[in-house]
Amino acid sequence: MVNAFLRKQFNKAYENDAMKSAVYGASPTGLVVMLYQGALKALLQAGIAMEHKKYEEKARYINKTNQILEGLRLALDLEAGSEAADNLNELYVYMKYRISIANMKNDQSILAEVRDLLETILPAWQQLDRKNHTTPAA
């Protein structure tokens, strides 16, 4: 089940008890929102570590971001043939590729590019989550 898979990926990315409590109370779209926010935070922290030449720390945050993006990618239902799922799959692969280049070159501008992509899509997920919370169950 996609919901269980997202929870598992989220728990791998976040290992604190308060966050786990929030995860288990979240809807599937709420989980996606939290994962996007986690990826954004990890990218910001990777950039700070890069700036301070803390390369092990940078690598840890880059890895965390890649794990989140891969979890989001694997949770997509590509067999349903949705154009949106196909586009998100390609976008997640692209972002992972760009983050790898940023890691190798210590390039802050590439991290900013990926953050911009995530920040562009995040509001749509947030709106969908709000809509799901206000729509009564059938």
pLDDT score of 138: 46
Residue 42: domain span = 2-134
- Average pLDDT over the chain, rounded to whole? 87
Which residues 6+ apart lie within 8 Å of 13 measured at CB? 35, 38, 42, 64, 67, 68, 71
CATH number at residue 93: 1.20.120.340
pLDDT over threshold 80, residue 15: no
Tell me, what's the pLDDT at 21?
A: 47
Cβ contacts of 57 within 8 Å, gap of 6 or more: 45, 49
Task: Using alpha carbons, list the distances in angstroms from residue 108 to 38, 42, 45, 114.
Answer: 18, 13, 11, 10
**Given pLDDT bands bounded at 50, 70 and 90, which one contains residue 86?**
very high
Find the range with the poorest average confidence among 1-10, 57-66, 118-127. 1-10
- Considering the entire predicted model, what is its pTM? 0.79
Give dist(CA 17, CA 81) in Å, integer.
37
Q: How many domains does the chain have?
A: 1
